[in-house]
Amino acid sequence: MDEIQRIMSKYDANYIRDNLTSAEDVTKFAATFYRDVAEILDALTRVRNVERNPTGFGLADAPILGLLVRIWKLLKEIIRYYNENNGEIIGVLDRPLLEAAVMAAYLMNNDEAVMEDYRKCSYRHRLRMVLSAKAGSPFFATKAGKRLLRSIQEKMTLEKLTQEDFAPQKKNRWQVQGKTFYDIFRTLHDEDLYSTSYGIMSESIHGSWNDSMDFCLTKNADGTFSAFPFFQPADIRFVSPLLIFAVPAYRAWLQRIQAYDDGLKPVLDWVERVNGAIFTKFDAEFEGP
C-alpha cells in the first residue's frame, strides 16, 4: 500500500543508525517510530483480499478484525499521552492493548466453535439486562433503557441468538472455553511474562495499593503518605514490549485472509527488526537495571 511505503521511505539505514546513538536520540526516534507503526497497523486492518472477501468480513473473521483495530487505536492514544507526559493514563491503556493482541492470536489458533464461544461470552451482562427488562425493571421503561435494550436486541438478531443459546457460556462462567485470561496467555507466550506484562498492568484499572504508591501518593520521612497531585511522567520504553505481542497478531491476520504477500511480509519484518533495535538500544543506553 502506498501509504505504508510513504511512512517507511524516510527510515533509510543512515536515518536509523544516526538516531540510535544516545538515550536522548533513541527516545525521540522511538516516539516517532511508534507513531508511524500505529499508522501502519491502521492501514493493515484496511487490507482485504477481494476474492476472499468481496465486501467485508463475516462473523468468522470480524471479531479478530475488531481486536486488531482496537490495538492500533490504543497505540495511537498511548503515543498521544506520551507526548503529554502522562504515564498514568498510558498504564490504563496498555492492558487492553495486550489483551486484544493475545485474544486475537488465540482466536486465530482455534476453530469456529471457539470464535462463536468468544462472541457469545461478550453478551454476559447484556443477557442479564434482557432478563431484567422482562422481569419489569423500571430502568427499561425509560428512554435510555429502551435505547440500550434495542441495541442489544439488534445485535442478538444479527447473530440469530436467543436468550436460550447461552447455556455453555453460563456453565463456563462466561470465560472462553472456560479458560481464564492467564490460561489463554500461556498457550501463546511464556507464562513467566504474564506477571511482568498483563498482571502488573491490571493494577492500573483495579484500584491496586501498589499502583497508588507508584502514582498517587508520596512517602513522607516519617513513613506516612501524602497525596501526589501531579501526573507521573511517561516512559516510552514501555511501548516496545507491546509491539512484541501485537505484531504477530497482524501477521497471522494477513495470512488468514490470504493477503500476506511479498509486499506486506517485509513490512512486518521491518517493524519487528527496528523495534528490536530500539529495545536493545534502550537497554544499553539507560543507566541502572
Residue 289 CA to residue 266 CA, distance in Å, equals 33
In a domain, 61, yes or no: yes
What is the mean pLDDT of the segment spanning 203-213? 87
Question: Residue 109 corresponds to which cell in the numbers above?
Answer: 489458533
The pLDDT score that the predictor gives to residue 183 is: 96
Residue 23 resides in a domain: no
Is 211 contained in some domain?
yes
- Do the beta carbons of residue 44 and residue 254 sit within 8 Å? yes
For position 286, what pLDDT does the model report? Answer: 78
Quick check: is 130 in a domain?
A: no
State how far the Cα of 162 lies from the Cα of 131, in Å rounded to an integer.
Answer: 11
Tell me: the pLDDT tens digits for 147-199?
A: 999 999 999 999 999 999 999 999 999 999 999 999 999 999 999 888 888 88
- Which pTM does this prediction carry? 0.93
- Domain total for the chain? 1
Identify the three-state secondary structure at position 263.
coil
Tell me if 156 is assigned to some domain: no
- With a cut of 60, say whether residue 90 has pLDDT above it: yes
* Residue 58, all three cell numbers: 463475516
CB 119, CB 165: distance < 8 Å? no
> What pLDDT, on a 0 to 100 scale, did the predictor assign at position 158?
96
Residue with cell 470480524: 62
Residue 288 pLDDT: 58
Q: What is the mean pLDDT of the chain?
A: 94
Residue 93 lies in a domain: yes
**β-strand pairing of 217-219 with 225-227:** antiparallel
Q: Give the range of the structural domain holding residue 41, as residue numbers without chain letter.
A: 2-10+28-123+166-285
Q: How far apart are CA 218 and CA 229, in angstroms?
A: 9
Position 114 pLDDT exceeds 80:
yes
**Cell digits for 3?**
501509504
Q: Is the pLDDT of residue 206 over 90?
A: no
pLDDT of residue 101: 97
What CA–CA distance (Å, rounded) separates 264 from 262?
6
Please check whether residue 131 lies inside any domain of the structure. no
Per-position DSSP letters for 53-116, written without gaps between them:
-SS---TTTHHHHHHHHHHHHHHHHHHHHHHTT-HHHHHHHHHHHHHHHHHHHHHHTS-HHHHH
In this prediction, residue 287 carries a pLDDT of: 67
**Residue 200: band (very low, low, confident or very high) from pLDDT cuts 50, 70, 90:** confident
Contact present, 77 and 93 (Cβ < 8 Å): yes
Q: What is the DSSP letter of 85?
A: T
C-alpha cell belonging to residue 121: 461470552
**Residue 18 in domain:** no
By CB atoms closer than 10 A (0-12, 13-18, 19+), residue 231 is middle
User: Residue 246: what pLDDT?
Assistant: 97
